[in-house]
Amino acid sequence: MSQKSRIPEKKIKRVFLTPEHIEPLEETITELQTADLIVIGPGSLYTSILPNLLVPKIGEEVCQSKAKKVYICNVMTQAGETLNYTASDHVKALYDHMACAFLDAIIVNNAPILPETKERYAKELATPVICDMEELEKLDLQVICGAIIDERDGTVRHDTKKVAALLVSLLAPPSHDVYL
């Protein structure tokens, strides 16, 4: 995207790169090929995450990788990008731009957000991303909905310690429990 401020209030249908042919760093390809876990997000879906996945060879390597691939869904929607998106809408947008349905798991917040915090975000046309479990399960994903936020001073962010614990648990044997 060349001018983020020009993003309309309508749903974005397609993102593309200009120029189309970009060579990724060889180190990036090597890291993707040898990774045990590939973490996508959090971040602006259309102006941060997708442009990186659309770099030739990057998306292909992500699709072909044997690593576990997990998407950390944003806590809040973004005006002009993901207005009214649910967690499954985020995944569908990723899949619509990639050559494969590549995710194994998704981490989504389901903790309530304080009314005054929601009110502050509403002024920016941002609302909490809904963990729509049924739709996510239809996408054949391991769905991890949990209380993964840190809410302070009217701002809500991912709790990095909780998210890190969940990511580590995804690499652990199935009997490994994580308590948040």
Q: What 3-state class would DSSP assign to 68?
A: strand
> pLDDT value at position 180?
59
Q: Average pLDDT of 27-43?
A: 97
State the number of CA atoms in the 13 A half-sphere of 145 facing the CB.
Answer: 15
Of 15 and 149, the structure prediction assigns the larger pLDDT to 149
How many Å apart are CA 19 and CA 34, to the nearest integer?
Answer: 28
Side-chain half-sphere CA neighbours of 8 within 13 A: 5
Using the predicted structure, report yes or no on whether residue 76 has a pLDDT greater than 70. Answer: yes
Per-residue confidence (pLDDT) for residue 167, from 0 to 100: 97
CA 159/CA 98 separation, integer angstroms: 28
Please give the average per-residue pLDDT across 144-153, as a whole number.
95
pLDDT for 88: 98
User: Mean pLDDT across the chain, nearest whole number?
Assistant: 91
- Name the pairing type of β-strands 105-109 and 68-72: parallel
How much is the CA Rg of the chain, to the nearest whole Å?
A: 17
pLDDT of residue 2: 47
What does the angle CA 43 – CA 64 – CA 168 come to, to the nearest 5 degrees?
Answer: 55
Q: What is the mean pLDDT of residues 71-95?
A: 96
Are the beta carbons of 158 and 107 closer than 8 angstroms? no
Q: pLDDT category, 1, cuts 50, 70, 90?
A: very low
Q: Classify burial at 44, counting beta carbons within 10 Å of its beta carbon; exposed 0-12, middle 13-18, buried 19 or more.
A: middle
Segment 41-55 shows an average pLDDT of: 95
Q: Residue 134: is its pLDDT beyond 70? A: yes
Give yes or no for residue 5 having a pLDDT over 80.
Answer: no
Q: How far is CA 175 from the centre of its chain?
A: 26
The pLDDT assigned to 99 comes to: 85
pLDDT value at residue 3 = 47
Taking residues 135-149, what's their average pLDDT?
96
Query: Is residue 161's pLDDT more than 90?
Result: yes
Rounded-to-5 percentages of helix, strand, coil across the chain: 35, 15, 45
Count, in order, helices (H) and strands (E) of the chain.
7, 6
Structural domains of the chain in order of their starting residue, each with its CATH number: 4-168 (3.40.50.10680)
The DSSP symbol for 80 reads T
3-state secondary structure of 172: coil
- Global pTM value: 0.89
